[in-house]
Chain A
Amino acid sequence: MSVYPDDRRYSRSHEWIRVDGDVGTIGISDHAQKELGEVVFVDMPELGEIFDAGQEFGTIESVKAVSELFLPVAGEIIELNGVLADEPGAVNEDPHGDGWLVKIKLSSDAEMDSLLSAADYEKFVEEEAKA
């Protein structure tokens, strides 16, 4: 059984998106948080900001590294995970649950098809490791 929940889709830049109606919740995968190390800060976008699919919407930092965050699907930012300002480590502890980053109102769900299923993402991660 995959360690990656199959109620959502994954991007090749290691974000996930779980859709409920026209609201999407976005976070980074367990693989991503392991690569990053202990998260110390998440640089969030503003509420109401609109991004295209694949556009950078923020950054996530560990002590020695910064990673850009790319929105898997186009949309408008409608909620930020308030926990992370005080507890950025939630991203490490529960990347697929309480460590979510933002919620968006989807502009369209066309891009969902180009994202990976849980099984495909797991394979993708394995292949990346070999490279």
Chain B
Amino acid sequence: MSDHGTLTSPEPLVRADSRLDRRRRFGSLFDAPHPGRVGVLFPPLDVPEADPAALYGKQHRPVVEGEVEASEVDVVRHFTRLSQMNFAIDTALYSLGSCTMKHNPRLNEEIARLPGFNDTHPYAPEHLAQGNLELLFRLEEALKVLTGFARVTLQPSAGANGELTGALMIRAAHVKAGNARKHVLVPDSAHGTNPATAHFAGYSVVELGSSRRGTVDLSELEAKLTEDVAALMITVPNTLGVFEDRILDVAKLVHGKGAYLYLDGANFNAFVGKVRPADMGVDVMHMNLHKTFSTPHGGGGPGAGPVGVGASLVPFLPVPTVERAGGGFRLDYDRPDSIGKMRAFYGNFGVLVRALTYILSYGSSIPEVAENAVLNANYLRKRLAPFYDLKYDAPSYHEIVFSDHRQAAMGVHNIDIAKRLMDFGFHPPTMSFPLIVPGALMIEPTETEGKDELDAFADAMIAIARECETSPGIVTSAPHTTPVGRLDEAGAAREASRPGNFAPVLRAPVR
């Protein structure tokens, strides 16, 4: 007789032995060699076959020892499985302050992959590359409109590279004027790249303390601004999310000493289309196309870091620039004061295509980006301020910097909160930065989040704040539901540092 209609509690589900659960394969393709497997078929060779051994003699290499042997099936499965272990902006909000993790529009991907853009060689004759030159020209024009600068170079490969380009131009300008100068002023709230860049341009760094609101302290600036200062490097809004409201006074002081005002454009998302940096007195600025202009982060690159300059720095731009010529365009290398080249060819062209596609999609409505970015950040600030400490209480723009001060009293730190957030399906905020806020939790939702996602994120953060009070152990031992638990980073660093030891820590062992 059967039990129809009777509710019985089901037998507990038995998990498969994790060694047999095919979803729990970890490690790399190098761990499981399959000698003899192949992944590619070539067309038959349609010329006489050359003999490398005969041609190269002692320089001949018969095989690359240790390389993978796999079929297409193995490779597709391996990388598909790897992808499933990643969080992405396509899945949920990334609250990473200063990274502007916004939605990456798919139209950008399609346009960048048009064969007419994607399958073109940089040394094709210029008359056969007019479309590419036109794209570069139009992107420069669009960025000029948004920034107010005289010209923009699209060559730098990333934000940091753009920063270096700007620093080199500043130095070249000072050298040309007869005095290279010695220092660059950098606020103590700055990203670590700023001092590293200044050093590369041959300048030493003088740190500026911030005011109580985290903005530039004008009297300290005045005291440290000597004729030895080449430039002041600032970020607006600054790394605490506060707008430099005395920026015009700052610019005046800097220019008064013949120095340049450099703007780190990492936070452009807070005011793009609503303020033009040139109007603020900025002489040179780098932008991050992979932040403000939606090009994808791709797990760590590629980016692009165009640099806009005022008229005084135009002669020093890297070569080549793109100029109008006849009814079309040409590349100009004839620039005697140019700093030279920052990379081979013209820049991360595919990223530039994506950025122009994005700008065209928004057009004159682009101020909505900053408006909604600032609105969303302020909404999160409102929801989270009762639970997390706000060290600087000036109005926030596109990002808010909380700290773990309250939670630290219960033994929980920002890194623990970050790891616990993973169990809620969210990527952690930025933490190791800015240095002036210990235990920082820097949150930037961007404009591409709806109210529902913002509320879900806030709810998760609030739940964690409560866990810190009731059961902090759950937070300090998080994450619990990710493919791997907290990894032994100290062990990796120790193994990697040990002299003579590099495998398997930094690559597969040689077989």
Contacts and interface: CB of A to CB of B under 8 A. Distances in A.
A and B touch in the complex (CB under 8 A): yes
Contacts, number: 23
Interface stretch (A23-31, A60-68, A72-80, A117-125): A60-68
Interface string A79-96: 000000110110000000
Contact of A38 (B432, B490, B497, B499): B490
B494 A41 contact: yes
A112 interface: no
Majority secondary structure of chain B interface residues (helix, strand, loop or mixed): helix
Contacts of A86: 498
User: Size class of A's contact patch?
Assistant: 10 to 19
Contacts of A40: 490, 493-494, 497
Contacts of A37: 490
B439 to A, nearest CB: 13
Contacts of B497: 40-41, 61, 88
Interface string B473-511: 000000000000000011001100111000000000000
Contacts of A89: 494
11 contacts: A37-B490, A40-B497, A41-B493, A41-B494, A62-B490, A63-B490, A63-B493, A85-B499, A86-B498, A88-B494, A89-B494
A63 B489 CA distance: 7
Contacts of B498: 85-86
Contacts of A88: 494, 497
A83 to B, nearest CB: 13
A35 B240 CA distance: 25
B155 to A, nearest CB: 32
A64 B432 contact: yes
A71 to B, nearest CB: 22
A61 B493 contact: yes
A82 to B, nearest CB: 11
Contacts of B494: 40-41, 88-89
Nearest to A92: B490
A70 B493 CA distance: 23
Nearest to A85: B499
Contacts of A62: 490, 493
Interface in A33-68: 37-38, 40-41, 61-64
A86 B495 CA distance: 9
Contacts of B493: 40-41, 61-63
A57 to B, nearest CB: 18
A85 B494 CA distance: 9
Counting from the closest, the 5 A-B pairs by CB-CB distance are A41-B497, A40-B493, A38-B490, A40-B494, A63-B489
A89 B476 CA distance: 23
Nearest to B415: A64
Contacts of A61: 493, 497
